[in-house]
Amino acid sequence: MTQNTDPRPLYRDALAWVRTLTAHVPAERFTDPTPCAEWDVRGLLGHIVATVDRARVIGEGGDPNVMPRVVTGVADDGWVDALTAAGDKAAAVWADDACLTALVTVPWGQVPGRAALFGYLREALVHGWDLAVATDQEVEADPATATAVLAETRRALPAEPRGGPIPFAAAVEPRHGAGPTEQLANWCGHARG
């Protein structure tokens, strides 16, 4: 990715992949653990929807820290609709090209909108991988997108330090043959159980 890469189409594609995964979560799997130890499958879906809501608020010029980290109260058969609605609202806000260069507030400070949306693109891919692992689905998103996001994440998120104000666990050594989405998740401290 370059400083001029438009993350919006990549974010839309990543969210489409996550919606597909969400649509294929078996009814009996919502309480299963995920690689993201904080959440079971239901909680992870609530967090994913919350991250999309936060991306929308950031694009509107608001403070994402006032938004919940997890959306609750969604029926198990309503997660695809919740994710679609959140994604549509975020896309409408980010449709204005000026959002990409405007300084916005994110949990880690102030950055140009392009960098903020990139962070939420990374969130979608990493937590999509978490969901895929937890529910025995295909763990790889579009390889070109995941490869680009992995390269940018390695540049923007150093291996050390981690923890404390940097909300990422230590990078995990990828397993042999891991694709770019799994390598991205591993770099962000996520691992298979």
Residue 18, in any domain of the structure: yes
- Domain count within the chain: 1
Residue 183, in any domain of the structure: yes
Residue 167, in any domain of the structure: yes
Residue 58, in any domain of the structure: yes
Question: For the whole model, what pTM was predicted?
Answer: 0.94
- The total of other beta-carbon atoms located within 10 Å of residue 139's CB is 18
Q: Can you tell me which residue has the tokens 């980010």?
A: 94
Q: How many residues does the chain have?
A: 193
Residue 2, in any domain of the structure: no
Residue 88, in any domain of the structure: yes
Whole-angstrom Cα distance, residue 109 to residue 99?
16
pLDDT the model gives residue 160:
79
Q: Which residue has the higher pLDDT, 164 or 80?
A: 80
Burial-class residue 12 by CB neighbours within 10 Å (0-12, 13-18, 19+).
Answer: middle
Whole-angstrom Cα distance, residue 102 to residue 4?
13
Span 9-42, pLDDT tens digits:
999 999 999 999 999 999 999 999 999 989 999 9
We report the CATH number of the domain holding residue 69 as 1.20.120.450
Instruction: Cite the beta strand spans of the chain per DSSP E.
Output: 103-106, 109-112
**For residue 17, what is the enclosing H or E element?**
helix 7-23
Span 165-186, pLDDT tens digits:
667 888 999 999 999 999 999 9
Burial-class residue 107 by CB neighbours within 10 Å (0-12, 13-18, 19+).
Answer: middle
Containing structural domain, residue 118: 7-187
Taking a C-beta distance cutoff of 8 angstroms, is the pair 131, 114 a contact? Answer: no
Residue 96, in any domain of the structure: yes
Residue 43, in any domain of the structure: yes
